[in-house]
Chains A and B, each alone.
Chain A
């Protein structure tokens, strides 16, 4: 045997060559999870690996990226990089990210490891294993990067604890819990395809460009460090779908149902991103509507044309998302503005320049529907009556978001949908969420809805303060309006210091 393997041989031995068929035990016993979903795979060898990346070169590549990233993180910390951000309100996007997204990266790490072990095709198993390691690295680099901000800003100190408890974090948590409690193929469709392939640009581009526009060099750098991984994940998503669709015709309706479901679940989760783009970022990148048109309607439209030859149709609820695009962020902002006393990030009154931007980006809706409300809240706050909603909101049983979405064809009426199952009454924000429940009610009757859990006495007590303490929020620092918050005060003090230091040079 030659001492040095050629690329092709190396790939063969270091990926495909690692698999074997068991003999002491049946393959079905060793791989108990990859048949119950009804997916039929006849020939795992037909799997085309788009990357042909072997484990040894994977380690080398990732180590190189780590070295670069940590050099930047160190210099960011040494140079007080947090003082260079555009505006302290920007950090609220970062808080939402570490509380809501980083824990999902870790869950993805765990579950891709599970999938790698439990599908019997060695090609996709190796790809899933690499993705599992990527996700662990992403969680870790995000935690390390953002920990610098934790020294100076509120709301970042208990993100892992909060992720399992806080009402709005049950939205991303339940999304991922839904995916990991499905079989391996639904998980791949949910996370690798719907999320990574179809929707990830709407998560990563806004967060990373938002960071770049707002002077957050640290976040930009972990974004770059993750970018080449993300393109590998996207490709895995598309390959998995095409592979399954090509293996057996009976897979088509199953995949279609999963696409309908996970398109909608992913889109609902992105409500938080829509709000971040249009309301939280002091310096804007583009509006949510523009991002939706560019990254979903154009790119996604082309994708579904491509998949039409397998008999796959665009998810039905894409039409609803299209109708919601000029109001989604304003509806979400209304929720967080009035419940920010119970959130571990701040909201605030919108200034005139920002309103003018919203009016320009949303000419059909902003002045007509949302500006008067923002003006009223501003007036109330100026009179010492900042509006907080002291009643708890009704939540959707599936997406778990407060039911603040309006009828697809009427932005002035809340969209209420309901189902009756085994004598119990269930409520949903949309036809999309209702359809998901109706397909698998035994799964969603178990939803851990924060509002109902508070009423049941499972969240630390009956008063708002009891519940917030159970969330481990620092009251008066993590929550409430930005105006008058400790961050607001400290920021102006820091800046005076920084400018004095500059003057002394």
Chain B
């Protein structure tokens, strides 16, 4: 049953369908083992945006204040989008990497486990 309702076959309006975001899609990022950032972050991004913009603009702007950020060896970072591993290609678009509306991108930085290694 999709919902217990007074009306038969009650259908709800999908509040967050992609058409409502003016050409963008919502993408979430999470830096694993860095809970100083309390939750994954959310951004409205064009699907054709190159992945390079994530690496050069978004992540440094919003995660750069963490003391681990400058120490990241980007060649060793592992990535998943919606649970599937991928290797980013800066020239290719988000869409080319399988990023869709409300996808979650998680990245892990081996050897870096937050402030004093406490995963913060």
Query: Hey, which bits of chain A sit against chain B, CB under 8 A?
Result: 32-33, 36-38, 182-183, 186, 331, 334-335, 338-339, 368-370, 372-373, 376-377, 380, 385, 387, 389-395, 402-404, 406, 412-414, 416, 418, 422, 424-427, 439-449, 451-453, 455-457
CB-CB contacts below 8 Å: B24-51 with A: 24, 26, 28, 30, 32-33, 35-44
A443 touches B12 (CB 8 A): yes
- Hey, which chain A residues are within 8 Å of B74, CB to CB? none
Residue of A nearest to B2 (CB): A442
B104 touches A427 (CB 8 A): yes
B14 touches A394 (CB 8 A): no
Query: Can you report 30 A-B residue pairs in the complex whose CB atoms are below 8 A from each other?
Result: A36-B4, A36-B5, A38-B4, A182-B4, A183-B4, A334-B35, A338-B38, A370-B120, A372-B116, A372-B120, A373-B118, A380-B65, A389-B41, A392-B43, A393-B38, A393-B42, A394-B39, A404-B35, A413-B32, A414-B30, A418-B104, A424-B101, A425-B82, A425-B100, A427-B104, A441-B2, A441-B3, A446-B15, A455-B26, A456-B20
B35 touches A414 (CB 8 A): yes
- Hey, which chain B residues are within 8 Å of A339, CB to CB? 38
Compute how far the CA of A404 lies from the CA of B120 in the bound complex, rounded to whole angstroms. Answer: 12
| Chain A at the B interface: SS class | mixed
- Hey, which chain A residues are within 8 Å of B22, CB to CB? 456-457
Compute how far the CA of A295 lies from the CA of B4 in the bound complex, rounded to whole angstroms. Answer: 32
Residue of A nearest to B17 (CB): A424
- Hey, which chain A residues are within 8 Å of B115, CB to CB? 372-373, 376
Residue of A nearest to B45 (CB): A455
Shortest Cβ distance from A488 into chain B, in angstroms? 24
B15 touches A445 (CB 8 A): yes
A425 touches B102 (CB 8 A): yes
Which of A393, A426, A441, A444 is B41 in contact with, Cβ under 8 Å? A393
* Other 19 A-B pairs with CB < 8 A, given A183-B4, A446-B13, A455-B21: A32-B6, A33-B6, A183-B6, A331-B38, A369-B120, A373-B36, A377-B36, A403-B40, A412-B33, A413-B33, A413-B119, A424-B16, A427-B102, A440-B1, A440-B3, A441-B12, A442-B12, A443-B3, A445-B16
| Chain B at the A interface: SS class | loop
Residue of A nearest to B16 (CB): A452
Interface contact tally, CB-CB below 8 A: 154
Shortest Cβ distance from A371 into chain B, in angstroms? 8
Residue of A nearest to B113 (CB): A412
A446 touches B14 (CB 8 A): yes
Compute how far the CA of A37 lies from the CA of B70 in the bound complex, rounded to whole angstroms. Answer: 57
Residue of B nearest to A410 (CB): B119
Do A404 and B39 form a contact, CB below 8 Å, given A412-B33, A425-B102, A452-B26?
Answer: yes
- Hey, which chain B residues are within 8 Å of A455, CB to CB? 21, 24, 26, 42, 44
Compute how far the CA of A418 lies from the CA of B82 in the bound complex, rounded to whole angstroms. Answer: 9
Compute how far the CA of A391 lies from the CA of B30 in the bound complex, rounded to whole angstroms. Answer: 12
Do A425 and B39 form a contact, CB below 8 Å, given A36-B6, A369-B119, A372-B118?
Answer: no
Compute how far the CA of A310 lies from the CA of B118 in the bound complex, rounded to whole angstroms. Answer: 46
Compute how far the CA of A414 lies from the CA of B20 in the bound complex, rounded to whole angstroms. Answer: 28
Compute how far the CA of A387 lies from the CA of B32 in the bound complex, rounded to whole angstroms. Answer: 19
Do A449 and B38 form a contact, CB below 8 Å, given A33-B6, A427-B102?
Answer: no
B36 touches A376 (CB 8 A): yes
A402 touches B20 (CB 8 A): no
- Hey, which chain B residues are within 8 Å of A186, CB to CB? 4
- Hey, which chain B residues are within 8 Å of A36, CB to CB? 4-6
- Hey, which chain B residues are within 8 Å of A331, CB to CB? 38
Compute how far the CA of A445 lies from the CA of B2 in the bound complex, rounded to whole angstroms. Answer: 11
Shortest Cβ distance from A460 into chain B, in angstroms? 16
Do A442 and B10 form a contact, CB below 8 Å, given A368-B118, A424-B16, A456-B21?
Answer: yes
Residue of B nearest to A451 (CB): B42
B39 touches A424 (CB 8 A): no
Shortest Cβ distance from B88 into chain A, in angstroms? 19
Compute how far the CA of A445 lies from the CA of B14 in the bound complex, rounded to whole angstroms. Answer: 5
